[in-house]
Each structure stands twice: as structure tokens, then as C-alpha cells.
Structure 1
Amino acid sequence: MKVSERIAKLRALMAEKGIDAYVVPTADFHQSEYVGEHFKARKYITGFSGSYGTAVICQDDAGLWTDGRYFFQATNELEGSGVRLMKMFVGDTPSVTEYLADKIPEGGKVGFDGRVLSMDEGKEYEDALSSKNISIDYEEDLIDQIWEDRPPLSDKPAFFLEEKYSGESSAHKLERVRKIMKDNGATVHIIASLDDTGWLLNVRGDDIDFFPLLLSYSIVRMDGVDLYVDETKLNDRILEEFKKVNVTLHPYNDIYEDIKKLDASETALIDPMKMNYALYKNIPCKIAEAANPTILMKAMKNDVELENIKEAHIKDGIAITKFMYWIKTRYDKEDITELSSADKLTSLRAAQEGYIRDSFEPLCAFADHAAMMHYSPSKETDVVLKEGAMFLNDTGGGYYEGSTDITRTFILGSIDQDMKKYFTAVVRAMMNLSRANFLYGCHGYNLDVLVRQPIWDLNIDFQCGSGHGVGYLGNVHEPPTGFRWYVVPSKNEHHQLEEGMVITDEPGIYEDGKFGIRIENEFIVRKGELNKYGQFMHFETITFAPIDLDGIDPEEMTKSEREWLNNYHKDVYEKIGPHLTDEEREWLKEYTRAI
């Protein structure tokens, strides 16, 4: 069926049930960023394939809310669907709840599957719609009723993450979590987010796209853990480790009934941003609301994790450097496309020991495609790389040693002076943040101006954050810290910078219909000098791959900026060079030369 036909079927079902508007977010039951094929309901009903957005279907209107990363992509993909693009955070575009409050008549009804909305979102709907006595039906999965060939839930096996990778036993992690439970007066802690349960129990899976996570819920008690999961995915090693920390297994979907059986005398610690609305509505006991303790714990990597992550970045740097050599020396001799280049890079990563899978969907964008910040090629949009333009490559690898996220923009042939000016500004912006020295207590929004200044100086901005936390075989976009100049509560990037956090630094310039430039490194937050002014902090860069000197105009850089880039490239050559062929190494010497 075409998208318009699917919407027609949904509207007929809505009419039967007296629903005036049906909301379809981009989520599974765990508010995961990427979701398995079974959960791609928003893509099914709109045709929009981006990783972020919410659809609202009414009888006489339909809208897709997404942010600046996807405006260009959404415009193309929604064409002919009858779904309007609603540009979030732009002009007078109403939020989803504002739209519903205005659109739905007095005494009307809004429906959604409460399992795919967060608790906070559900409560926002309640608050926004109550003044018009608009009711909410959160127990209707209408998409499931019209999606005839809907893919089943994943049945792929899980694996245990050894302590040589995790750096901490589940027993010790549970001890730390239970202390915070006590501090909050809680007797149970309900966890619905996959990365939090995975981190806590040192278990990973293969149930959603790219992120190696296991579909599960957990209830942490003072004397054990109730884990809701498909037991057939668990091997003997996992079961053996679970016995050590008194994990009791239950069928995956049983949590919705079991949660109703909590004793009224209990107090449940829950994270309103990490729990779905349906689960929240079933809790019968007192509730203590706070961030999942595991969020900050897993963001502050331990020494074992950090050493592993640095090793993962060396492996990734080898793959990226080989890839850059391949692109730069072959694009004009054979037909290399966006898709074939993505496959090539995946194969280079797969050749590295400990590789598991890509850490997110490869974003390989040539020329004007790169103006769409998060464009990912498809068979319909794939193009051949040609001379005289730029090729943006935002990808990552998942290794047992950790996850990576790197962006490089390659120059194919030659580009004009204006493009070089923009390219150099992006590199300078990335360096500005990398070199920051700051006092402990700073948040990402305190430092974001450093990364944007060289781009703002051109009276240009980019409509997304400047960086995000990176999980260890978890979510590649990991809260609670990131860089942006304004606060977006739903992004959960409001925590101060802590030692051991791993964060990206990824400024860019994007000109619709022309080009896109992004350069991205990762760094570790480190302690610096402690003196009478306080604890100073800085960043340790851990990404090592060449920045294409063909796009650099040295005249646009200060002496200290040139020194930083030269020193960085010296490190790239020393760390990556020994792992290359003689030809690749000679090429790398030229592309890491001092300027």
C-alpha cells in the first residue's frame, strides 16, 4: 500500500473507535533512539525514514514533527503522502500538544499506544488536553491492526560483556544503584530503558538496529532483580552470571500485569524520561521520580572502559584512514557510490579484531545530499561520487572495546575558495572546543559558544547540537551531557561535565541544495590543575584519522590553530601509520604533513 492508502485505513479505524487524532512517535517500548523493524510504525504510516519525528493523523489533516537535521529529507520523503512537515523549533510552528489542544474539539479523543510514549510525554498530553475535556486512549495500537506484514520482535541471541570490557561487576553496580534507591526512599526501581538494564547486568543483545541491546525490562529490588526478557535469547554463561546477583526471569510482556501486583506499601523509583506512559499508568504504589541512577554511572566511564575505548578508536582510525585512502585514490578511476562506499567502510571495520557491527546507520552523503544533516543513502537516492565536490561520511563502529562515532568530509578533486573557507571554519570550530580549559561545574551549554564562534563569525549556524555523549556498546547518543547553546529538556543533556565522560565534538555548515561539511572527533573529559580557583578540566582527544588538508586554507587559521592541527596529524601518523600498507603509509605522510 501507498502511504496515503495506509493513512486512509488508519482513519477508518479511528472513526470506528471515536478517535479524533492518533499519535505515532519514533520509538519502541523503551524510548530507544534506533528501533527494530517491528517498531518502525512512524515510518510505516508517513514514509519518513529519519530517526527522529512524531506523526499526528487526524481525519482532515496529518503532520510530521521533526527537527532541523531532517527538514530537507522529510520534505522529499513526505511528497505525495498527504502528510505536512511541521518544522520543530522554527517560527510559530506549534508543538504536537499545542496542535492537538487547538485542533481537537471539546470532549474529543486522542489515541496512541502508551507503550511508545514516555511517561513525561503522556503527562504533557494530559495537561495540554484536560482544559477541553479531551480524553486519552493509550491502550490502542492501531498501527498493528492495519500493518498486515509487520515484522516480528527480534529473537536474536544475547551475549555477556566480560569484566575485562565492562570494568565492573553487576554485583558492584547493583550495590551502587541500591544506595541511591535508599537515598530516594525507594524499595524497588523500575527500569524500562534498554541501555540501563544492559549496563547494570553486563548483558548485550541484537534486538534493535545498530545498538547492541536486548529487549527487556528490569525491576531492581533490595534482594534481587526481576528481568522481563525472552529467555530463549540467553546462553548458559549469562544464566550463570544472573544467578550470582539473584536475577529472576519473566516473559518479556508480563511486566504490564506484574507491575500492577506491587504492594501499595512499596515506593518505586522511576525516571519519567525513561519510562513509557502505559507502564507508568499501571504502577499502583507510591512513586519517587528521579533520573535512573545508571544514566550518570554509565556516562562516567571507568579506567578499564576508557582504555578499551581508546583502543577501539585506534582500530576505527585504521579503518577510516584506509577508507579515506581508497576514496581519494579511486573515486576518479571507478564508479564509487554512496552505498558502495558505506559497504566498503563496514568491511574495513569488520577486518578489525573485536568488531561487532556499525554503531549507527552510516551517513554517506555526496555533494548536495550532505546538506541534509542526517541523510542516509538508499537505492532510490544513491549517486556516484564525482570530482569537484565534497563527500561527508558520518559513521561509527561497535567493538568489544567500545563504540565510536566519527565524521570526515573528503574533498574530491578541487573546490572553490568559498568552500575552503567554510571547510576551514568547521575545522577551526572543532579545534576550539577540543582545546577548551574550563572549571569543573560547567555544562555543555557553557562551552557551546567555543565551537560555534568560527561559524557564527560567518553569520551561519547549524540547527543541531555540537556534540553528545557516547555509550559503551549502548546508545551512541548517550545522556546526560552534550553541547548546544540552548536547553532542550527532552534531549536530557543538562548535566555538568564529569571526569570520564566520552563526548563528541561535531560542528558543521549545511547549505540546502549545495553541500554539507561536518568534522567530528571524540574526547574524554579529564581533570586538570586544582588550585585556589577550583578544579580545572580539559578534553583528551581520542579520535585519530586525517582531516582532509585539500579543504584547508591555512591563511584562515591562526598560528596556534595550525600548530594544533599539525600536532594532531603528527599523532595520527604515529598511531595509525604502523598499521597501514607501504603505499597507504606514504599517502598518509602527505595528508598529515605540517601546514
Structure 2
Amino acid sequence: MNVNQERIAKLQEKMQAANMDMYLVPTADFHQSEYVGTYFKVRAWLSGFSGSAGTLLVTRENAYLWTDGRYFIQAAKQLEGTGVTLMKMGEEGVPTVEEFIKENLPMNGCLGCDGRTIHVAEGKDFETLVQEKEGRFEYQDDLAGEIWTDRPEMSKEPVYTLDVKYAGKSREDKIQDVRDAMKEAGANVHIISSMDDIVWLLNIRGNDIIYNPVVMSYVMVTMEQVHFYVQEEAVSEQVRAELEKAGVVLHDYFAIYEDVKELADDSKIMLEDACTNYTLYKNLPGNVEVIFQSNPAAIMKGCKNETEMENIRIAHIKDAKAMCRFIYWFKNHVNSGEITEYSAAEKSLEFRKEDPDCLDLSFETICAYEANAAMCHYAPTETEYAKVEPKGFFLIDSGAQYWQGTTDITRTIAAGELTQEQKENFTLVLQGHIRLAMAKFQYGCSGANLDVLARGPLWERAMDFNHGTGHGVGYLLNVHEGPQNINWRMRANGRRGNTTPLEEGMLTSDEPGLYLEGKYGIRTENLLLCKKAEKNGYGQFMEFENMTWVPYEREAILPEMLTKAELVWLNEYHQKVYEIVGPMLSEEERQWLKEATAEIK
């Protein structure tokens, strides 16, 4: 047995002792975060699959891993020799986790999990499913944690405050806005579990999840106080004093599980079932009224205020300088034979860190050469990387956290000679990217309405990419932020629903791609700020303001494939890139940028 087989076997022993037939291990912390700290990487520790999304289901005899299309190639590689069966989500003939459990859980059987790592809606579904089998749903035990003897400690990085010159609104005003939303919903208590909403509300940041500046915490808002459940050693006296001045009372992080049991029977508690964990929900007194509603902070946070929007423009100009310098460096060194995926990732960070306002990356840099770029979320390491040769495509997807906001950009760069096929496919992806950036649409449209603009050129040739077209982006916060996204696939539940209307101030990515397994991958990404266009007798129209200012790879563009309007947009975009970024570069870099942004006819 390899190490992962041994770990799963130990879990199966625990299951047998507890008379459990199945044990569920999702990729989640106690707050349903997309990315999790090392303490919560139980699924990765057990299975060996390190991707950011996946669910492990262990039975008495076998183990199964569900993940989405971004990770099919990576998961297949990492699960080799573990005995874990890969279940490709969304593929024909592959059941969902719930369908699999329903089919395979025996009558009177037992399903177990750590209820803190599933959200309320999931817990209710599992409850119903198990009841149909006349079985048991055990959610109180962290069996996997019991066998992880050298488990890392839970992160408790220092909490710091975000000045109103960056936040644009005081924590007192934000708290009042949330209370107003509570009144409208008929609630007198609001439990917030999503850490990005919490730090936005309190104008604080932390570093408890790498690249996501959040704080391990819960908040319970009443009409009189704000109860902040946090690892208190992470909060300095200065930060505590600032919070207490705004009526925020600090408590121990885990105390909320007992405190909610003491809520008055006449409490009307508002919470979001896609963020609140099942154990916390089950601890609520039986007589209280629960109002399931999206956190009002989520939409408030998603619609950036004027100060945030102006700061975001500044952040992207800073980032454009770093990325243009990186591409110039890459082009001038690719023939040396010394560039690797890892050294390129380090170099891109070096350019960003030259700016004093850059605090960190916003996610792990994806630097992928040729076939590695076909793995959508591949990232090199210090010991595992490919050498870049002067031919084909090199893809870099990267971003940073600045005091002025969060960035995320992808460019596919020609490392050398390209084939006609590569140029055609690059142009198709760019065409979809441009069509979305050019969009003008009626207010009320969501990402589901716009997705076809980006996929259209590929769909016309019976091709596609297996990920969303766009995600919301936070302000010095999570690089993936709801409530909006751009994706044609409808979602029945979950925070990031693509039926959320696109509102003024929402920052969203535009990132179509194409991935040919074993050959190469292409992705092109800018961030777009939604804003109001004209209003007339037909209604309020909306459009996008581009935030990202980095040239596209002109060596890969076939202009004859673009429409006249698309070509005009491309040339105007490149002209603006040169106007904005050119003055910040050295003479040699500026000359390169002038050529890289020259008019394409």
C-alpha cells in the first residue's frame, strides 16, 4: 500500500468501529470557503489529490473522488496508485455524489461526516437521503481528523485594519446597512459564517488562508451588538480597541457553537444556507425562526463603491506595469534555454513586489508551458516544473493583492514559432474574449445571459472549455467572489449563482480558453467593471469598463478571422495600453511595448 491507501484504510477501520458504511470528506473548512488553510486539507491528505475542488467518499471497501473539469487531468495523475476512483463531475454516465450515495448506501446504513464541513442545504439533503434508507446520518465526528496525528494547527495570523481611504465606507456604516437589511427581512439576529463577508463588514483583513486575506471567524449581528468570534490571540489591543469602538464584542472562535444554543425562543435568525455549516445550524434552539437568505453583505461587497472603483483602476495600472515588464523579460530570455515554469512564476512575483503597495499574490501563479497548460489549474513547484523551449505557447495566469485592490490576469504568450492551428485557436479564444468585453446589455441580465458571447466562436466550431467564463473578484479579498459569475450552467444552489443580475460596481473576469490534452492550452483574461450605459425608452443599459492593460500576443492573432468591430476594439485597446503603461517603462521596454501594441490591419 502507498501512503494514501494506508490513510484511507485507517479511516475505514474507524468507520467500522463506528458502524458507518460511508464517510464523506469534502474540500471545505467550517465556513464553506473555496480555498482552505492547511489545517482543513483533509481530503488532499487522505487522497493525494491537491486540487482546490473535490469531494472524497470512502466506503467500507473503496474510495471515490469527485472533481470538476478543471482538474480531470491533474486528478487522474495524482490518484494513480491510491486505489481512489476518479469520478468526473458533469460527464455522461457519472452520478453525482448524492446519486451515488442514494444508490449504494444500504438500507439501515450510516453516512458520516464532520458536519462543520458541509453547509446547511447539503446537510438537509443528506438527512433526507438517509431517512429514505431508514438509516443514520452521523455529523458530530471528525473521523479523518482523528487519524491525522501530525495535523497542522489552525491558522491564527494577525488581524489588521483596512483604512476607510481604501474601504470607502466605515465599519459603523456597513453594520448599519446590514441591520437595515435584517429589519427588511424581519430578522433580529444575523449569523455570518463567510469570512470574506465578515472582514468586509468589519474593515479588517488577515492571512488565515494563503492569498485570501481573511480571518478565521464568525459574526453574530444583533440590533444592539456585533459579536465577533475569533482566535483572540490574533487580535492586537489596537485592533480590538478599534472594533470595540464600533460596538464589536470579541469572543473565542469556537464559543459560537454553544452561544447559539442560548438564543431566545423568539429569535428570528437570518443566515445563508450555502455558507453556514450544518453543525452550527443544528445547534440552534428548536423554537427559533430561521430565515434563509443570502448574506446582505455579499451583494454590498460585490458592488464596489466609488472609492473602491477608483482604487481598483490604480491597482490594475500597477499590475499592468509588472506584467508588461514580465512579458518583455520573457521574450528577451526565452532563447537562452534558462527559463522554467517555476523561474517564470518567481520572476512575475519579483516584478510585482517592486511596488510597495503589493502585499501578496492573489492566488498561486499558474505558469504552464505547452501540454501543461492543458491542465487548467496546473502550477509548477520548486521541484516539479517544465523547461520552456523557444517554440509553442506559454500560459501565465496570475494576480496580486494591493492596498488598492485585487488583480487577476491571464496571457498566453508565444515562446517561439506557432502552428497555423495554434494561431486559429488563439484567435477564436481572443474573439470570444473581445465579444464579451464589448457587450452592451439590458439591466437585469446575468452572467448566464452573456456567456454565449465568449463561447460563441468556439461553439460554432463544436469546441468548448470546461470552466466558467467569469467570476467576481473582491477588493483586497478573495480573487473568486460572488454573488455573480459568467457561466451558462445553471446552479440550483450555492452562493455564486449565475442568475444574479450584473450590477454597477461588480468586478468580473472575462476568461475564455481552449485546452487540448497533451498539446497546449490557451486562456485570455481581463477584469471588467460593470457600469451603467445609457438609459432610454427601452430601459437601463449596462456595459463593461476594462481594468486590465496588457497587450495580447500579436504573433498569435489572425486578423482576417476577426470582424471589423472586433479589430477596431483590439487596436483601440492596444493604443490605450501603450498610453497608460508606456510612460512607466524603461526605454527598451517602451520600445518593445510600442511594437507589441502597434496597429493590426
Q: Classify the TM-score, shorter chain.
A: over 0.9
> Any residues of structure 2 matched to 1:186-225 within 5 Å, and which?
186-225=187-226
Partner of 2:565: 560
Aligned match for 1:367, one of 370, 373, 392: 370
CA distance in 2, matches of 1:130, 1:504: 42
Q: Deviation at 1:74?
A: 0.5
> Any residues of structure 2 matched to 1:193-592 within 5 Å, and which?
193-284=194-285, 285-379=288-382, 381-488=384-491, 489-490=493-494, 491-592=496-597
> Any residues of structure 2 matched to 1:176-195 within 5 Å, and which?
176-195=177-196
> Any residues of structure 2 matched to 1:34-113 within 5 Å, and which?
34-113=35-114
> Any residues of structure 2 matched to 1:110-121 within 5 Å, and which?
110-121=111-122
Partner of 2:16: 15
Decide whether the 8 Å contact of 2:116 with 2:280 is kept in 1: yes
Partner SS, residue 335 of structure 2: coil
Partner of 1:157: 158
Q: Deviation at 1:464?
A: 1.1
Q: Deviation at 1:146?
A: 0.9
Q: Deviation at 1:509?
A: 0.6
Partner SS, residue 219 of structure 2: strand
Decide whether the 8 Å contact of 2:363 with 2:479 is kept in 1: yes
Q: Deviation at 1:494?
A: 2.4
Q: Deviation at 1:129?
A: 2.3
CA distance in 2, matches of 1:99, 1:383: 38
| Partner deviation per Cα, 1:220-275 (whole Å, 9 max, x = no partner) | 01011111001221224322221222111111111111111111111110000110
**What amino acid is the match of 1:139?**
Q
Q: Deviation at 1:339?
A: 1.2
CA distance in 2, matches of 1:275, 1:232: 24
Instruction: Return 361-370 or 329-338, whichever deviates more.
Output: 329-338
Q: Deviation at 1:379?
A: 4.5
Decide whether the 8 Å contact of 2:179 with 2:223 is kept in 1: yes
**What amino acid is the match of 1:328?**
K
Q: Deviation at 1:380?
A: 5.3
Decide whether the 8 Å contact of 1:479 with 1:493 is kept in 2: no
**What amino acid is the match of 1:558?**
T
Decide whether the 8 Å contact of 1:119 with 1:273 is kept in 2: yes
Instruction: Return 189-198 or 371-380, whichever deviates more.
Output: 371-380
Decide whether the 8 Å contact of 1:160 with 1:237 is kept in 2: no
Runs of 4+ in structure 1 over 4 Å off: none
Q: Deviation at 1:134?
A: 2.4
Decide whether the 8 Å contact of 2:51 with 2:75 is kept in 1: yes
Partner of 2:31: 30
Partner SS, residue 447 of structure 1: helix
CA distance in 2, matches of 1:372, 1:230: 37
Q: Deviation at 1:311?
A: 0.6
| Partner deviation per Cα, 1:509-547 (whole Å, 9 max, x = no partner) | 111111100000011111011100000110000101111
CA distance in 2, matches of 1:592, 1:182: 53
CA distance in 2, matches of 1:204, 1:330: 38
Q: Deviation at 1:128?
A: 2.2
CA distance in 2, matches of 1:572, 1:134: 62
Q: Deviation at 1:353?
A: 2.3
CA distance in 2, matches of 1:316, 1:128: 49
CA distance in 2, matches of 1:326, 1:9: 50
CA distance in 2, matches of 1:171, 1:480: 23
CA distance in 1, matches of 2:236, 2:161: 9
Runs of at least 5 residues in structure 1 that lack an aligned partner in the other structure:
none
Decide whether the 8 Å contact of 2:156 with 2:216 is kept in 1: no
**What amino acid is the match of 1:373?**
C
| Partner deviation per Cα, 1:186-228 (whole Å, 9 max, x = no partner) | 1110011100110000011010121000000010010111110
CA distance in 2, matches of 1:167, 1:240: 21
Partner of 2:599: 594
Runs of at least 5 residues in structure 2 that lack an aligned partner in the other structure:
none
Instruction: Return 134-143 or 535-544, whichever deviates more.
Output: 134-143
Task: Give me the identity figure in percent.
Answer: 46
CA distance in 1, matches of 2:485, 2:326: 28
**What amino acid is the match of 1:401?**
Q
Decide whether the 8 Å contact of 1:98 with 1:128 is kept in 2: no
Q: Deviation at 1:390?
A: 0.6
CA distance in 2, matches of 1:122, 1:317: 44
Partner SS, residue 356 of structure 2: coil
**What amino acid is the match of 1:302?**
N
Partner SS, residue 560 of structure 2: helix
Q: Deviation at 1:550?
A: 1.2
CA distance in 2, matches of 1:108, 1:339: 48
Decide whether the 8 Å contact of 1:480 with 1:494 is kept in 2: no
CA distance in 2, matches of 1:546, 1:424: 14
**What amino acid is the match of 1:522?**
L
CA distance in 2, matches of 1:487, 1:435: 24
**What amino acid is the match of 1:195?**
D
| Partner deviation per Cα, 1:284-329 (whole Å, 9 max, x = no partner) | 1221110000010000000000001111101111111111111111
**What amino acid is the match of 1:587?**
W
CA distance in 2, matches of 1:343, 1:326: 12
Decide whether the 8 Å contact of 1:481 with 1:493 is kept in 2: yes
Decide whether the 8 Å contact of 2:448 with 2:498 is kept in 1: no
| Partner deviation per Cα, 1:132-154 (whole Å, 9 max, x = no partner) | 11211111111211112111011
The two structures, once aligned, show a CA RMSD in angstroms of 1.1
Decide whether the 8 Å contact of 1:34 with 1:210 is kept in 2: no
CA distance in 2, matches of 1:360, 1:79: 27
Decide whether the 8 Å contact of 1:468 with 1:478 is kept in 2: yes
Instruction: Return 375-384 or 245-254, whichever deviates more.
Output: 375-384
Q: Deviation at 1:493?
A: 3.1
Decide whether the 8 Å contact of 1:256 with 1:279 is kept in 2: yes
